[in-house]
Structure 1
Amino acid sequence: MNAPRIRAFFDEPTNTVSYLVWDPDSLRGAVIDPVLDFDLAAGTADIRSAETILDAAKDEGVQIDWVLETHAHADHLSAAPFIKAQTGAAIGIGEDIRKVQKLFRPVFGLTELKTDGSDFDHLFADGERFKIGSLEVEVLHVPGHTPADVAYKIADAVFVGDTLFMPDFGTARADFPGGDARQLYQSIRRLLALPEDTRLFLCHDYKAPGRDEYKWETTVGEQRRTSVHVNDQVSEDEFVAMREARDENLAVPRLLLPSVQVNIRAGKFPEAEDNGVAYLRIPVKPVREAVAGAA
């Protein structure tokens, strides 16, 4: 079985890792979890990071056939539509994105939002297999962080999204709507049941205390031996108690509100108004009755 070629691209403003993955024989490839450069304060979006990936693909002679999302991210906006427009690639995500759309449609009052997943080109089922050139990709449903998380297994490489971080940092949060710490543990154990030398490619790194460099590649064996959250000595109940207590004190991601609205629509913004500007919604929940009256 061919091993995929892999190039990683780290976006420090969002601590996100995107990947260009390709078959060295056919030079057909995929981009996994591409980042749109979004400036929240200025309300501007740019495609510098996505252009860097496309330039790399050009340098390698790779034709991009897929943009693969591991889930609807809450910490960065997706550049999938731009890459699709430039390459003709299909945008794929796990089929349970429909659950996420149904969860967030009322949160943002998005009455026009379709909740059938049709904004994406393909919805992957658990266990589904497809080809990138001669490479076979297996889709693994790994819910817990969100209901729709999937990992993409290509030979000995697995792109796990937010489910796992580096062993010295831990695991994904499970407190978003539809998240579940017990499901997350079970999904992680599914991944850690793979052979110990299986390479795990992560979607984020935040540099654990004492570590000077960003890292985003680990192995099943390293996670099982040394993960600070989910090594082989940690039981399911212990993990759930730790994860739920930890999540109670985590801050809301800075880009959560724009990210979710855009990413559940395959990276698409709402239609622009007559002035050429697209507008996103900010839900406001009064904390006290007097605030509601003032509004």
Structure 2
Amino acid sequence: MPETGMSHSTVAPEIQAFFDEPTNTVSYLVWDPRSAKAAVIDPVLNYDHTSGEAATDAADLILQVAQANGLDIEWVLETHAHADHLSGAPYIKLKTGAKVGIGEHIRDVQKIFRPVFNATDLKGDGSEFDHLFSDGEVLEIGDLRIEIIATPGHTPACISYRIGDAVFVGDTLFMPDFGTARADFPGGDARQLYRSMQRLLSLPDDTRLFMCHDYKAPGRDAYAWETTVAEEKRDNIHIGGGTSEDDYVAMREARDATLSAPALLMPSIQVNIRAGKLPPAESNGVTYLKIPVKLAG
């Protein structure tokens, strides 16, 4: 079980990335080469919003690779309640018995969105998840030691996972040529996000940073999702070169005001605050995803 206290892993993890182009999401299979114990970070459930149909192709590919390598998946680790894709966590849990974990401030996110969707089944205590991680907690998977780093700002519940020289940063940072995450979702805070990023950028320069998304910045031909602390500090178009907190906040807030909502915002949030589970079926046995309607005027 998780324990409290910071410790740096002495075992280098094996890492395989899986890119879901429809949602621009990167999921990761991470394992201990000694024990073959593994974790999946930010898995995707394939979902077509126009038809309401869901599929498990992305998660099945991860499971196939895990099986081919003889891996035992013990955990599904969410960096936050995603607003741009539905989580594949329940499916991986069903197939492997893995536990599902997320940051403890998912409670705050649940309390924000519970009234938005009239999600009366939600208790607001995070109990839909198997474990809520606190800042500084350490999770052991085989000989891997995974340190929990709270990185709020994009959402209150954002956390990063540090495993050896690798950190899985969720939506806190993007590749240097694309910048940083938005902070205008309910509970988001640009100033808090800046401080979270500085916490990550205080790690050793050669620390590898693994993104949760890539949108192939203009001028770049291929998707990419791995960089380093040194590259982010030097080249990130939003915070590189010593950008001050006030300058960053002014830029972030002005930029966020121009952004449209993610295409899958409504279905993603109401599923992901339930640990990837669908809302309860209604009296006709059908499950529905809600879209709150606001009339102008």
TM class by shorter chain equals over 0.9
Structure 1, gaps ≥5 residues long: 289-295
Aligned positions of 1:64-213 closer than 5 A: 64-213=73-222
Partner of 2:273: 264
Partner of 2:295: 286
Shift of 1:275: 5.0
If the length of structure 2 is used for normalisation, what is the TM-score? Answer: 0.96
CA offsets per residue over residues 53-109 of structure 1, 9 Å max, x none?
Answer: 000000111100000000000000001000000000000000000000000011111
CA offsets per residue over residues 14-69 of structure 1, 9 Å max, x none?
Answer: 00000000000000000000000000000011101000000000011110000000
Partner of 2:4: none
Say which of 66, 70, 77 aligns to 1:61: 70
**Aligned-pair Cα RMSD in Å:** 0.8
Say which of 12, 27, 32 aligns to 1:23: 32
1:247 aligns with 2:256: yes
Runs of 4+ that moved beyond 2 A: 271-277
> 1:272 and 1:102 mapped to 2: Cα distance?
21
Shift of 1:273: 3.9
CA offsets per residue over residues 113-143 of structure 1, 9 Å max, x none?
Answer: 1100000000000000010100000000000
> 1:265 and 1:273 mapped to 2: Cα distance?
16
Identity of aligned residues (%): 67
> 1:233 and 1:131 mapped to 2: Cα distance?
35
> 2:240 and 2:106 mapped to 1: Cα distance?
29
> 1:274 and 1:104 mapped to 2: Cα distance?
23
Q: Secondary structure at the match of 1:57?
A: helix
User: What amino acid does structure 1 have at the position aligned with 2:73?
Assistant: I
> 2:38 and 2:121 mapped to 1: Cα distance?
33
Partner of 1:215: 224
If the length of structure 1 is used for normalisation, what is the TM-score? Answer: 0.96
> 1:68 and 1:155 mapped to 2: Cα distance?
16
Say which of 2, 5, 9 aligns to 2:14: 5
Structure 2, gaps ≥5 residues long: 1-9
User: What amino acid does structure 1 have at the position aligned with 2:244?
Assistant: S
Deviates more, 1:103-112 or 1:155-164: 103-112
